[in-house]
A and B are shown apart, each in its own frame.
Chain A
Amino acid sequence: MKFLTRREFMVAGGALGTAMVVPVNVFAGSGSKASVEAAIQKVTGGAPIKEGGPILLKVDKLVENGAIVPVTLVTKKGSDIVRMALVVDGNPVPLIFSVGVDPALSGATTISTRIKMKQTSIVRAFASDSEGNVYMSSQSVTITIGGCG
C-alpha cells in the first residue's frame, strides 16, 4: 500500500469531512421553514399575528436536557382566549399541541407541560380570542442535549 503524503492525506480528509456534513444538513431539513409555516398557518388560519398582548410564554433560555423542557403559557384574566397552541421551529413536527379552552371554566388560563426539543430553536406560543385575533409570544431556547431521538 502506498503511503499518502501529508498533503494528500489532508485533501482526502477534507473530502471525507464534507461527505459527512452533507447528510446532516439533509436531516436538519426535518424542521424546515416550510413545515413551520404550515404549522403556523394551521394555528392562525391566515389571520395576522400580533406580538405579545394577552399571551405570555414562560420557558428557560438554556435547557440541558431536550427530552424534558418545561413550558408555561399564561394568559391575562378576562382576555377571552379560546384556543392556544405551541410551535417549536426546530422539531421534526413543529406543532407541539393545540388546545381548545373554555375561558369561563378555566379562569385566567395558565397551562404547563413538558415537551421534547430536538435542537436549539425558537419556541412560539399562540393564543386566539373569540373574535379571531391571534397573539404570539416567542423565545429562543438553547438545548445542550437534544431529546427527539
Chain B
Amino acid sequence: MQTIGKSIIRLPGGMTKGSVAQVKSIILHPNDTGRMKDRDTGAIISAYYVNRITVEYNGKIVYDIDPSPALSKDPYFAFSLNVGDGGTLKMIWTDNKGGVFEKSTNVKPK
C-alpha cells in the first residue's frame, strides 16, 4: 500500500490573470469508515480516512475542509480559485492515523 497519499492537482489550461479557475484534486486513500467488514474474515476494518484538507494560495488559506469518513474512496475535491497574478497553490491532506500529505503546484496565468 505504498500508493496511499499519492495526489494529483490539475489546473485548467488557458488561465488569464484575475480569472476564476476550476481546480481539481484527488488523493489515493482507502477512506475506510470503520463500519465495513472484511469480506473474507468478517473482521471490521478500522477507520482510516482523510479528516482534514487545506488549500493554501500564496500562504493564505482558501479552503479549510473538515470531512467525515463519508467522502468516497480516493477523496476528490474540485474548487474555484481566484488566480490573481499567479503564485503557489499548496494542498495538505491529513488522515486520522497521523498521515500528512502535501502537494504544491505553480499557478501561472497569462
**Residue A112 at the B interface, CB < 8 A?**
yes
Selected interface stretch from A15-23, A48-56, A86-94? A86-94
In the bound complex, residues from chain B placing their C-beta under 8 Å from that of A91 are 70
In the bound complex, residues from chain B placing their C-beta under 8 Å from that of A69 are 72
Report the separation of the CA atoms of residues A93 and B66 in the bound assembly, to the nearest whole angstrom: 13
**Residue B20 at the A interface, CB < 8 A?**
yes
Report the separation of the CA atoms of residues A147 and B71 in the bound assembly, to the nearest whole angstrom: 11
Q: Which of B20, B63, B75 contacts A101 (CB 8 A)?
A: B63
In the bound complex, residues from chain B placing their C-beta under 8 Å from that of A117 are 70
In the bound complex, residues from chain A placing their C-beta under 8 Å from that of B105 are none
Shortest CB-to-CB span from B42 to chain A, Å, is 13
Shortest CB-to-CB span from A102 to chain B, Å, is 5
- Number of B interface residues at 8 Å Cβ cutoff, please give it: 29
- Number of A interface residues at 8 Å Cβ cutoff, please give it: 32
Whether the pair B71, A113 counts as a contact (CB closer than 8 A) is yes
In the bound complex, residues from chain A placing their C-beta under 8 Å from that of B79 are 106, 109-112
Query: Are A99 and B64 CB-contacts (below 8 A) given A91-B70, A107-B80?
Result: yes
Report the separation of the CA atoms of residues A99 and B54 in the bound assembly, to the nearest whole angstrom: 9
Q: Which of B57, B60, B63 contacts A100 (CB 8 A)?
A: B63
Whether the pair A108, B61 counts as a contact (CB closer than 8 A) is no
Known contacts A91-B70, A109-B80, A115-B71; 7 additional CB pairs below 8 A are A69-B72, A95-B68, A106-B63, A106-B81, A111-B77, A113-B75, A147-B72
Instruction: Give chain A's interface residues, CB within 8 Å of chain B.
Output: 67-69, 88, 91-93, 95-102, 104-117, 147-149
